[in-house]
């Protein structure tokens, strides 16, 4: 019997830890009920947004979506669809597969003619943006004649000449859509022609907009025609600029982006395509992405990675609070991505940058043990931003005491876990990966966690939230309201369904 130690009125003692864990049959029933509820009540054309009032009269994402609008960006349609597919893999219940397949159809029918996706998609009969999508709302292949291809590269994409077809890799949008399609396609054994073709098109697009050095920009607006210019995009290692502006230049001059795990999620997507589709081209592209990370490691005294680079491989500004700097968060994400690449390919050359980078981050920890999101080039001083006069704009600061609340300026140090995973790979063992950012539960969760999830689900199969900020949603006018019955959050559905699915899979193994 497991035990847990308690401190009771100052005395240390141990008492039995009794578990009231649900049975696998109960968890299976709960999963099917949760998927059925979300699919039948929340779906619009098979797709989802971020939040719903309990009576489904209100819907919200990043803004107020129209009646036929779905959200691609996680935790919208792609995340919900993948969670439903997780539930199918755990239960083998066709209701879950049907719901995941409908989500994949919603994604395939909002795929742009450039091959990627915008943050949201319109599935109305009278689409406002004619010529934007690669398929009709019925899933038929659209006329692509109006889609102009041009040479690839940030110098053209930033002009947004084909704005209606502007796809984004920001916030895991195109990547997550591709992963959902690839997974559903594999589960259906390539028998759904629409999903099969959309998945293939997405993988081709992701490869075609990859720079020769293996990196990606945050967006692209067309299928590529010809090759990248070697003059505009030379392959060279990262280096420090002679100087950099301390004020936002109001112009993103960079083209190679690691911000918010963009590069890491693109690599993950390609590796999934290589695994499930046996796609050799996707595997080669993932390796090129790893090669870029070797090139992008900065030289001493800061042998880590920047958030974004210009074409000369100098760290550069992005938004008004994202300066030319070394990034602690992105550097750790890079190392986890390299470890996953080694695990997938067996090529241990991708381990080479890790020891120096970890040692650098270890030296750079803040007094609270965390690492800074940004370190100043060469001096290694932590950088923060405070609001400008009147609360407008941002000003660079070396003091985080009054840093603006819009950003995560400090992150947990993961260097020891990274080194442990690296040593496991070297010895041929399976590495332990940490709980991903924003994950509520460890996967698989404990029996107690499962009990918590099940007890918080109502009789219909929904998780309703009423407390604090989770109980609010915006109405059609944009005003925050507190609806009777609470709010249904897609991210809660995703987290809980994934956790229950992981637990059930473990119990069945």
Per-residue pLDDT tens digits for 246-269:
999 988 777 999 999 999 999 999
Q: Among 14-23, 277-286, 339-348, name the one with the lowest average pLDDT.
A: 14-23
> Structure pTM?
0.94
For residue range 440-459, list pLDDT tens digits in order: 999 999 999 999 999 999 99
Which pairs count as long-range contacts for 391-400, CB under 8 Å and 24+ apart, including other chains? 393/320, 394/248, 394/320, 394/321, 396/246, 396/247, 396/323
Mean pLDDT of 200-210: 96
Question: What pLDDT shows up at residue 224?
Answer: 73
Q: Which of the two residues, 475 and 15, has the higher pLDDT score?
A: 475
pLDDT of 13 over the 60 cut: no
Q: Which residue has the tokens 């109405």?
A: 475
CB atoms within 10 A of CB 36: 17
As a whole number of angstroms, the distance between CA 436 and CA 442 comes to: 9
User: First vs last Cα of the chain: how many Å apart?
Assistant: 22
pLDDT of 411 over the 60 cut: yes
Q: Closest Cα to residue 461, out of 84, 137, 152?
A: 84
As a whole number of angstroms, the distance between CA 321 and CA 315 comes to: 14
Buried b (16+ CB within 10 A) or exposed e, 138-175: eeeebeeeebeeeebbbebbbeeebebbbbbbbbbbbb
pLDDT of 141 over the 60 cut: yes
pLDDT of 2 over the 80 cut: no
pLDDT of 14 over the 90 cut: no
Residue 5 binned pLDDT confidence (cut-offs 50, 70, 90): very low
Residue 278 binned pLDDT confidence (cut-offs 50, 70, 90): confident
Residue 422 binned pLDDT confidence (cut-offs 50, 70, 90): very high
Q: Which of the two residues, 172 and 18, has the higher pLDDT score?
A: 172
Question: What pLDDT shows up at residue 282?
Answer: 97
Question: What pLDDT shows up at residue 3?
Answer: 38
Q: List the Cα angle 455/52/453 in 5-degree steps.
A: 15
Cβ 211 vs Cβ 233: under 8 Å: yes
Mean pLDDT of 54-68: 96
Phi/psi region, residue 390 (left: phi>0; alpha: psi -120 to 50; beta: rest), is left
CB atoms within 10 A of CB 404: 16
Residue 146 binned pLDDT confidence (cut-offs 50, 70, 90): low
Q: Closest Cα to residue 103, out of 28, 179, 181?
A: 181
Question: What pLDDT shows up at residue 467?
Answer: 85
With H, G, I as helix, E, B as strand and everything else as coil, classify residue 103: helix
As a whole number of angstroms, the distance between CA 26 and CA 504 comes to: 10
Question: What pLDDT shows up at residue 175?
Answer: 98
Q: Which residue has the tokens 């119990």?
A: 507
pLDDT of 1 over the 60 cut: no
In the predicted model, what is the mean pLDDT of the chain?
92
């Amino acid at each position: 019997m497991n035990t847990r130690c308690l401190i009771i009125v100052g005395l240390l003692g141990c008492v039995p830890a009794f578990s009231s864990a649900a049975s696998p049959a109960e968890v299976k029933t709960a999963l099917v009920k949760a998927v059925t509820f979300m699919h039948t009540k929340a779906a619009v054309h098979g797709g989802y947004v971020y939040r719903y009032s309990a009576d489904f009269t209100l819907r919200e994402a990043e803004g107020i979506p129209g009646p036929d609008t779905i959200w691609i960006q996680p935790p919208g349609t792609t995340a919900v669809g993948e969670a439903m597919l997780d539930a199918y893999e755990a239960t083998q219940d066709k209701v879950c597969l049907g719901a995941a397949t409908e989500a994949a159809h919603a994604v395939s029918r909002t795929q742009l003619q450039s091959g990627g996706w915008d943050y949201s998609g319109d599935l109305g009969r009278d689409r406002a943006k004619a010529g934007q999508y690669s398929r009709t709302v019925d899933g038929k292949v659209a006329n692509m004649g109006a889609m102009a291809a041009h040479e690839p590269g940030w110098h053209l994409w930033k002009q947004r000449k084909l704005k209606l077809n502007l796809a984004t890799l920001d916030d895991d949008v195109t990547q997550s859509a591709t992963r959902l399609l690839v997974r559903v396609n594999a589960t259906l054994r390539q028998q759904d022609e629409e999903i099969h073709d959309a998945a293939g098109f997405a993988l081709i697009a992701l490869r075609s907009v990859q720079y020769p050095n293996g990196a990606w920009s945050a967006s692209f607006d067309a299928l590529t025609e010809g090759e990248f210019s070697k003059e505009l995009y030379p392959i060279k290692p990262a280096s420090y600029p002679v100087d950099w502006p301390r004020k936002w230049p109001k112009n993103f001059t960079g083209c190679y982006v690691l911000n918010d795990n963009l590069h890491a999620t693109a690599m993950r997507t390609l590796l999934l395509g290589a695994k499930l589709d046996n796609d050799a081209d996707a595997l080669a592209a993932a390796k090129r992405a790893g090669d870029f990370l070797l090139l992008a490691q900065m030289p001493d005294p800061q042998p880590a990675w920047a958030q974004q680079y210009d074409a000369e491989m100098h760290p550069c500004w992005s938004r008004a609070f994202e300066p030319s700097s070394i990034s602690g968060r992105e550097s750790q994400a890079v190392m986890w991505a390299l470890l996953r690449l080694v695990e997938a390919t067996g090529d241990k050359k991708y381990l080479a940058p890790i020891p120096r980078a970890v040692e650098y981050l270890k030296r750079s920890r803040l007094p609270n043990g965390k690492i800074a999101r940004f370190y100043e080039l060469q001096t290694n001083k932590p950088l923060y931003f405070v609001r400008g006069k009147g609360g407008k704009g941002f000003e660079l600061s070396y003091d985080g005491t009054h840093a603006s609340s819009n950003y995560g300026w400090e992150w947990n140090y993961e260097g020891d876990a990274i080194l442990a995973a690296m040593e496991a790979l070297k010895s041929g063992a399976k590495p332990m990966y940490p709980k991903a950012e924003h994950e509520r539960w460890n996967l698989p969760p404990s029996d107690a966690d499962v009990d918590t999830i099940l007890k918080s689900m109502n009789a219909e199969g929904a998780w309703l939230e009423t407390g604090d900020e989770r109980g609010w949603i915006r109405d059609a006018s944009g005003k925050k309201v507190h609806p009777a019955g609470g709010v249904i959050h897609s991210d809660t559905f995703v987290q809980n369904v994934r956790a229950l699915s992981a637990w059930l899979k473990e119990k069945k193994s």
